[in-house]
Amino acid sequence: MFVQTHEIRRRFLDHFVRAGHTEVPSASLILADPNLLFVNAGMVQFVPYFLGQQTPPFSTATSVQKCVRTLDIENVGITTRHNTFFQMAGNFSFGDYFKRGAIELAWSLLTKPVADGGYGFDPEKLWVTVYLDDDEAEQIWLALGVPSERIQRRGMADNYWSMGIPGPCGPCSEIYFDRGPEYGRDGGPEADEDRYLEIWNLVFMQNERGEGRGKDNFEILGPLPKKNIDTGMGVERVAFLLQGVDNVYETDLLRPIITKAEELTGKSYGVNHADDVRFRVIADHARSAAMLIADGVNPGNDGRGYVLRRLLRRIVRSARLLGAERPVMAEFVKIVSDLMAPSYPELGTDFRRIENVSVGEETAFLKTLSTGTKLFDETVDEVRTTGGKRISGTDAFTLHDTYGFPIDLTLEMAAEAGLEVDEAGFRELMAEQRQRAKEDAQSRKHAHADLTIYKEFVDRGPTEFTGFDELTSEATVLALIADGVRVPVAQAGQDVEVILDRSPLYAEAGGQIADRGSITAGGLKLRVNDVQKIAKQLWVHKSTVEQGQITEGDAVLAQVDPAWRRGATQGHSGTHMVHAALRQVLGPNAVQAGSMNKPGYLRFDFNWQGQLSEAQKADIEAVSNDAVGADFPVNTFVTDLDKAKKMGAMALFGENYGDEVRVVEIGGPFSMELCGGTHVGHSSQIGPITVLGESSVGSGVRRVEAFVGLDSYQYLAKERALLAGVASALKVPSEEVPGRVEQLVERLKVAEKELERTKVAAVLARAAKYVDDAERVGRVLLVAAAAPEGVGAGDLRTLATDIRGRFGSEPAVVVLLGNADGKVPFVVTVNKSAQELGLKAGDLVGSFGPSIAGRGGGKPEMAQGAGADPAGIPAGLAAVRARVAELAA
């Protein structure tokens, strides 16, 4: 059926391909742009072309770009207009057609009959807006038959587009669809943007903007090198209009997720607003989370990982609030995969990893909810102890921000406990936090790095890399760049970027750091410190002139440091060995999440839930070294991407590959990966691989580190020397060291337990004296004393409990203040008889707490905490005596 969303995006692409555009696949949601957590607009991958920094390989293009925007994440579900994930269909012109072409192409697709490949919108329901002074755009619309009364002029805030930072910008013309009077008032987009829904924005990108904030408070620096077109059509908005439903949540790619949520929770969508918000949160976030994980994002505590973690946790909490009693993420990501895979097949091929990451985060969050519930219960006890009826905004915020406990659950559980929550105070603290985050993000935004100085050389074509076949190459100096400026010559002692026509030095990529080496000629010598790529094809040698001078046009010798390259190839090939071993030991779900290798060392990140056992680590090391000992040949060849994938070659996740790829094969089926790095000729040349250990680098991501080659040997030699030293000290053979150490550890544990028993006995021996010295205050016996120096909180609690028990049924209060390492731990305990007289442990803390700069709390029978001022102990004891006297009277 035509109105399926997949068909809407297909028709868009076909329309522009027929018009001569090159179809460009969606970029990953993650791009190397310091301004963006995620790709949030269709034109992001084309920014260098718009700025004139690179020459595009096509004059016109079309794409459907996956996008994520999370600025309004808290509003998702509350309204039906907010989404975190969306698809932006666009067509782009780089100095080719301009306003007329963009307008005519858009109008044609929207209004063309369905039978002819269009969308079949009624032209009478379409409105357009143009920028205030854009007479040209208005005339084009009039010529297409749009009456003047359906064309509105709007200011810079509405009809002038930029990315919010210095970069390309320009006036725009937006197309709106009139949904009818039942959705709002008459008057066009200026009057009501719910009734008149924007579906397509045509940006006439002709200028470059400067610094400034907001949509209309920035300087126009001047024209771009060429006039360009950037358009964005919201696929989801067009879908719900063509499918005849009220909003995006009713469309074919989101409503089935809500249906699944209804099955899992027993609730129904459309019954009440609060539940509907939760259903929409689940539908939106499940799709966004799956798309982010598919592009290599893993849950974490900052940046992209934190956004994903929030999305996943909002799904889980919404499902629980709807009544789900068991884990839900596996079923949600499965239905998302089924729905979205026709357009994004990676959701199907990589489903197991997506499922593992999402389920792992759900499991962790359910534990967080359990911990948060305990903290919530303690908060409730403190409120009730003081006779309060409301949980403070600060406590609610602490539960949310520090422990990840959702405010929704705090509100619900507080109501069940008969308490209120200072929700206004909580919202104020949340608003302050969001404002700080927004200001921090804005302060880190800056203009796109100016790469125009390299454009001439990027346009010449890629640097010829000779390093697969030789370590020394003759080359010509094409350009010298110092401090961002092109210079004709560089002298001894000067740092300079050198651009050569060809080079044997490897530029950093794929986890392998750049080669070190030299550039020489006659009396000239430069030390090459680093090699980086510009636009993935231009080698830039970051160097220091050590002697002589280098001039543009010089003929030079570029040479790799042989020892460096030997170690680098060992590290990189060793990474492939460890990757293959991981998949043998753990299975195919141990998917690469990143790597770094350098001479003698490698680290490898992979998706996995839970710590590896010692046996697994040993197996990984053994399988790797078996492959080294097998002396497998290392073969490399170039083929097309589809053939490489059919052969089973592993790809680095999140990496964009061209049509042709280089495959590195080690031992046939043992290891086959897409890789542009340098490698050994045979696996035996890697040398021994020693796994140093593994650790967590984020939720669902583990890291293995290892030494290879000579570094591995040197590490093992140090370990052997260390073992020999321990064996000598213990006077046993090396092979008996583990058993001997185990014996010593057990003896130490026994000694520590005996010492603890002695210590406890000594503490309890004081209990009788405290009872004998008890003061009678009114009807209560009071022990208010400073404990011996060095007695910690645990021993204080034991002692106080023992003293309280010795008073039997007679009303008694015990207050003990310690002095340990400059801190003042304290315990207050009140027996049942004293509680019946109105004395509560938590209340008494307030009497002496200020004297010792301390805080604490607890239940009526016991409270504890700590202070920071031991000098205040005498005053604190006097204060608590006075308070007990007041209450006991």
Per-residue model confidence as pLDDT tens digits over 628-642: 999 999 999 999 988
Check whether residue 360 and residue 266 sit in a common domain: yes
Which residue, of 444, 476, 497, is where some domain finishes?
A: 444
Which residue, of 444, 472, 504, is where some domain finishes?
A: 444
Structural domain of 364: 255-444
Residue 729 domain-assigned (yes or no): no
> Residues marked as binding for Zn(2+)?
572, 576, 675, 679
**At 722, which amino acid appears?**
L
Residue 536 domain-assigned (yes or no): yes
Domain with residue 467: its CATH number is 2.40.30.130
At residue 515 the predicted structure's pLDDT band, cuts being 50, 70 and 90, is: very high
Which residue, of 215, 246, 277, is where some domain finishes?
A: 246
In sequence order, what are the residues at sequence separation of 6 or more whose Cβ sits closer than 8 angstroms to the Cβ of residue 227? 95, 98, 204, 205, 206
- Cβ pair 144, 181 in contact under 8 A: no
pTM of the model: 0.68
Exposed/middle/buried for 861, CB within 10 Å: 0-12, 13-18, 19+? middle
Check whether residue 365 and residue 388 sit in a common domain: yes
Top-confidence residue, 83 or 472: 472
Check whether residue 137 and residue 209 sit in a common domain: yes
> Residues marked as binding?
572, 576, 675, 679
* Residue whose C-alpha is closest to residue 344's, from 300, 295, 309, 298: 295
Rounded distance between C-alpha atoms, residue 797 and residue 803, angstroms: 10
DSSP, res 80? S
**At 663, which amino acid appears?**
V
Residue 522 domain-assigned (yes or no): yes
Check whether residue 42 and residue 158 sit in a common domain: yes
Alpha-carbon distances, residue 687 vs 427, 619, 708, 711 (angstroms): 59, 17, 6, 9
Alpha-carbon distances, residue 685 vs 47, 506, 682 (angstroms): 44, 19, 6
Residue 750 domain-assigned (yes or no): no
Instruction: Give residue-wise pLDDT tens across range 766-800.
Output: 788 888 888 998 889 999 998 877 777 778 888 88
Residue 722 domain-assigned (yes or no): no
Specify the pLDDT at position 402.
64
DSSP, res 823? B
What is the arithmetic mean of pLDDT over 462-488?
A: 94
Check whether residue 536 and residue 601 sit in a common domain: no
CA 819 from chain center: how many Å? 44
Residue 35 domain-assigned (yes or no): yes
What is the arithmetic mean of pLDDT over 139-155?
A: 96
Check whether residue 439 and residue 463 sit in a common domain: no
- Cβ pair 673, 649 in contact under 8 A: yes
What is the token pair recorded at 771?
């009872």
Domain with residue 661: its CATH number is 3.30.980.10
Check whether residue 64 and residue 213 sit in a common domain: yes
Domain with residue 32: its CATH number is 3.30.930.10
Residue 742 domain-assigned (yes or no): no
Rounded distance between C-alpha atoms, residue 221 and residue 217, angstroms: 13
What is the arithmetic mean of pLDDT over 27-47?
A: 82
pLDDT, mean over the chain: 88
Beta strands at 660-666 and 780-786: parallel, antiparallel or unpaired? unpaired
Domain count, the chain: 5
Check whether residue 119 and residue 99 sit in a common domain: yes
Check whether residue 195 and residue 217 sit in a common domain: yes
Helix (H) or strand (E) holding 496, with range, is strand 495-500
At residue 1 the predicted structure's pLDDT band, cuts being 50, 70 and 90, is: very low
Check whether residue 379 and residue 332 sit in a common domain: yes
Residue 734 domain-assigned (yes or no): no
Check whether residue 281 and residue 411 sit in a common domain: yes
Least confident range from 111-120, 243-252, 446-455: namely 446-455
Task: Say if residue 434's pLDDT is above 80.
Answer: no
Contacts by residues 241-244 (CB-CB < 8 Å, ≥ 24 positions apart)? 241/121, 241/177, 241/179, 241/197, 241/199, 242/2, 242/3, 242/8, 242/119, 242/120, 243/3, 244/3
Task: Say if residue 654's pLDDT is above 80.
Answer: no
Instruction: Give residue-wise pLDDT tens across range 351-384.
Output: 988 998 899 889 888 887 777 777 888 888 888 8
Specify the pLDDT at position 432.
77
Check whether residue 501 and residue 575 sit in a common domain: no
Instruction: Give residue-wise pLDDT tens across range 673-694.
Output: 999 999 999 999 999 999 998 9
